[in-house]
Amino acid sequence: MRGRGLVLLLGLVGVGIAFDKGVWTLPAGWNPWQPLSVEDPLTPVTRWKLGRLQGDRETCLAVLARAPEAALSYAPLVDHTPVAGCPLENVVRLERAGVAFGSSFVAACPMAVAWLRYERHRLQPAARALFGQPVAMVEHYGSFACRNIYGREQGRRSQHATAEALDVSAYRLDDGRRIEVRRDWGDDDAAGEFLRRARQGACDVFGTVLGPDYNAAHADHFHLAMGGYRVCR
């Protein structure tokens, strides 16, 4: 046993020296020291980095500034309190990502980064695989709402209260075809499969994803939120 332990230790030292000398480089998405990029694959390391953007305005805005989406359009907002009791910090107004939105919305900066990662790594690949074309536009019911978690008079604030959640109601493809959560969820066709992948893929990026399977309050939209209890339903 002692012999194996020594071999393991020497192995680890060797690996450490190799990295230190730059003999090996970590694959994209696995280097905890490299700043997050929208293009980095979805890994536990990039998920951790996304979480760390929450309290780091400068780093977060830098990630947005480096994002490769040519159509991306947003404006950083100064911290403000639109509704008493719900101050907003580190937020941007997101006009466009890779996709257009039914209307622009206020998003916490990490939420905007999360959306871009969702779009690039999960949403568009699903649309291309099933329909041979990308999603052009996303319809939603909004992001900011100063309230507690649905159905609770007291207790925890909803992630909408800090603009860290978005309620997506429909996706419109390049050719104009509209796929609607309320109408198409659970259908045994390409639209139903697309929504299933759109929901499941969101779970790889967002902390909380709630849809029609969760409860009746989500029958017509996906609730995509940054943190929370890590629910995916």
Q: Which residues bind Zn ion (CB under 5 A)?
A: 165, 167, 223
Of 67 and 205, CB closest to Zn ion: 205
Buried b (16+ CB within 10 A) or exposed e, 11-41: eeeeeeeeeeeeeeeeeebebeeeebbbebe
Q: Are 37 and 63 in contact (CB under 8 A)?
A: yes
Of 90 and 158, CB closest to Zn ion: 158
| Minimum gap (Å) between residue 223 Cβ and Zn ion | 3
Of 155 and 176, CB closest to Zn ion: 155
Largest Cα span, the chain: 66
Of 164 and 167, CB closest to Zn ion: 167
Of 67 and 111, CB closest to Zn ion: 111
Of 113 and 225, CB closest to Zn ion: 225
Q: Closest CB to Zn ion belongs to which residue?
A: 223
